[in-house]
Amino acid sequence: MLSPIPFSDFLMEALRGVLLAMLMVYFWYVGKRERLGNQVGWKFILAGLAILVLAVAVDVADDVHQWRAIILFGEVSLGLVVEEIFGYALGLTLFMIGVIKWISLVASHNRMKEQIEKTNISLQAEIEERKQLQAQLIHSEQLAAVGTLAGGVAHEFNNINTSVLGYSELGLNGNVRPEETELYLNKIRAAALRARDITNNLLTFAGKSSGRRMPRSLVDIAEDTLALVEGQFRTEGVVFRKKMSPLPNSMMEGSQIGQIVLNFLINANHALIGREKRIITLESGVNGEAEIWLKVSDTGCGIPKENLSKIFTPFFSTKGEHAEKNSPQVAVRGTGIGLSVCHSIAENHGGRIEVESEPGLGSSFTLVLPLQEGRGHETPLDGKEPVASVFDGKVLILDDEPDVREVVSLAVQSAGGEAVACADANEALSLVAQNDVDVVLVDLQMPMIPGAEFIRKMQELKLENPPACIVLTGKVRSSLDVELAGLEVDCIISKPFEISDFCFAIAGALAGRK
C-alpha cells in the first residue's frame, strides 16, 4: 500500500533530482566542449557508477525506517519509490552516455590515426621527391660549371700533349744520347701524371654525388679545385695568394664541397673583370675545436649592400642582363642558381656561408663546416703493404683496349708473372673455369658483357680455388659503390696507373690468397 508523500519530502527529492540532473548536464558539457579523448568517456562511466553507489548508500542510511516499514508492514513510500527509480535511472543513464561517448571517441581516435599515417606517407614521398629534385639541380649546376672549365681544361691538355709529342719525337731521334733519352722519358711521364690529376679532378667534380661522406681535407679539395682553373685565370691576369694552413680531416662529400669552392673562384674571377688590381686570396683556419673554414677573397667590384640579403635567392643574379648599365658584369653570363645551390650544400653538411663585401673594394666568401671526424671506406689493400712488387703467378687481363692489354701484359711479365690477355668476356670466363688463373684484372667498361657482370658470373662458378679479382677503371671511385655492390673485389686500380703501384697491388692480392 502506497502512503502519501509529505510536501517537505517531495521538495527534498525534487531538489536532489535537480542537482543530479545538473550534474549530468555538467558532465555532458565537459565531454562536448573539452573533447579530452578517451578520458571523458571514463569520467562519465565513473560518475554513473558513483551515483549508483551513492544512491544506494544514502537511501540505506537515511531511510532505514522506511525499509523496515516495507519489510515489516508492507508500507511503501511513494517518495522512496520515486527516489529509487530516479537515482538508478539517472546513474544508469550517465553510465550508458559514458560508454557511448567512449566508443565514439575510440572510433574517432582510430580514424584520426589512419589519417595521420596516410599524411605521413604522403609527406615522406614529397620529401624524397624534393631531395631528388635538389640533387638534380646540384648536378645541373655542376655541369654548367664544367662548361665554364672546358676552355681552361682544353688549354691544359694541349700544353701536356705538346710536351708529350715534343719529347717523344726528340727521343726517337737517332742522335740522342742515352742520358737525354732518360730525361725525355721522365718528362713524358711527368706530363702523363699531370694529365691524370686534371682528369681525376674533373671527373670527381662533374660526377653525380654518391651521397657518401668521407674524411677529407678542406685544403686538399681547395687545391684540387684551384688546379682546374688556375692556369686559365692566370692567363687573364689574375694573381693568386695562398694563405691556407693545414686542416684536420672532416667528414664531407668531396665533389659537393669542391663545387662550392669552384663557385667562389668563378664568382671572384667575374668580379675582377675590368679591375686594375686582380687578386684572389685563399685562406683557411679552425674555429676552436668545432669548426673549420675556407675563405676566398677578391679585389673585385664588390656587392651593393641592398643585394647582400638576396644573393642566395634562387635565380637572383647581378650578372649579364641583370647588371647595371656600363658595368663590366654585363658581359658575364650568370644562371642565378650557383650560390643558392652552394648554400643548400653547406646547410646539408651542417655548415654555413658567410659573406663580407664592400662596393668598389672586393668581397670575401667563407665556407664554415663542422669538424666531424670519422672513418672512410677502405679498399682491401688499404693499410697492407706488400713485401715486394715481384710475384709468380698467372694473371688474366680482360680489357677491350689493345694498347692497355699490351702494356699491362708487359708489366706483368717484367715482374715475373705470366700474362694472358683477352678482349672477350666469354673467352675469359672459359679460362677462369679451368681453375689455373691466380689473378683476374677486369676492365669495368667492356662491350657485350660489362665488367661487373663478368665478375658476378665468375663468382657463380664456385671454384675451389677462385682467383683474386682486381678492377681496372677510369671511373671515379665514389661512383662504384652501386655498380660493385655484393661483389668480392680485392682491389680497385684507377687508370691511368703507375706500373710500380700496379705491381704492388697484384703482389698484395696474391699474398692475400695464400
* pLDDT tens track for 361-375: 999 999 999 988 754
| AA letter at 331 | A
CA atoms within 13 A on the CB side of 45: 10
Identify any residues that bridge with 240 across adjacent strands, giving them in sequence order: 280
Query: Which H/E stretch holds residue 433?
Result: helix 425-433
Which cell numbers hold the place of 427? 673467352
pLDDT number for residue 42: 54
DSSP 8-state code for residue 465: S
Output the CA torsion 184→186→192→193 (10° steps).
Answer: -160
Q: For residues 277 and 238, what is the distance between their CA atoms, to the nearest angstrom?
A: 9
| AA letter at 464 | E
Buried b (16+ CB within 10 A) or exposed e, 456-479: eebeeeeeeebbbbbbbbebbbbb
Q: What angle, 0 to 180 degrees and rounded to 10, lies between the N-to-C axes of helices 7-34 and 38-62? A: 170
pLDDT averaged over 10-residue windows placed end to end, the chain, 514 residues: 47 52 54 48 55 53 51 53 58 60 66 81 79 64 60 73 86 80 86 79 59 82 86 88 91 85 89 90 91 94 85 70 57 66 85 92 94 54 45 90 91 90 92 90 88 91 89 74 81 85 85 70
Q: For residues 200 and 220, what is the distance between their CA atoms, to the nearest angstrom?
A: 14
pLDDT number for residue 479: 63
pLDDT number for residue 40: 47
pLDDT number for residue 429: 92
Identify any residues that bridge with 296 across adjacent strands, giving them in sequence order: 282, 365
In sequence order, which residues have a C-beta less than 8 Å from that of residue 388 and are 6 or more positions away? 507
Q: Which residue reads 679479382 in cell numbers?
A: 469
- Which of 329, 322, 472 has the alpha carbon at shortest distance from 401? 472
| Peptide bond preceding 496 in cis form (omega within 30 of 0) | yes
pLDDT number for residue 22: 53
The fraction of the chain above a pLDDT of 90, given in percent, is 19
pLDDT number for residue 207: 55
Q: For residues 214 and 157, what is the distance between their CA atoms, to the nearest angstrom?
A: 30
In sequence order, which residues have a C-beta less than 8 Å from that of residue 383 and are 6 or more positions away? none
- Which of 237, 296, 239, 240 has the alpha carbon at shortest distance from 264? 296
* pLDDT tens track for 66-109: 555 555 555 555 555 555 556 556 555 655 665 566 666 666 76
Cβ–Cβ < 8 Å for 38, 106: yes
Q: For residues 449 and 106, what is the distance between their CA atoms, to the nearest angstrom?
A: 60
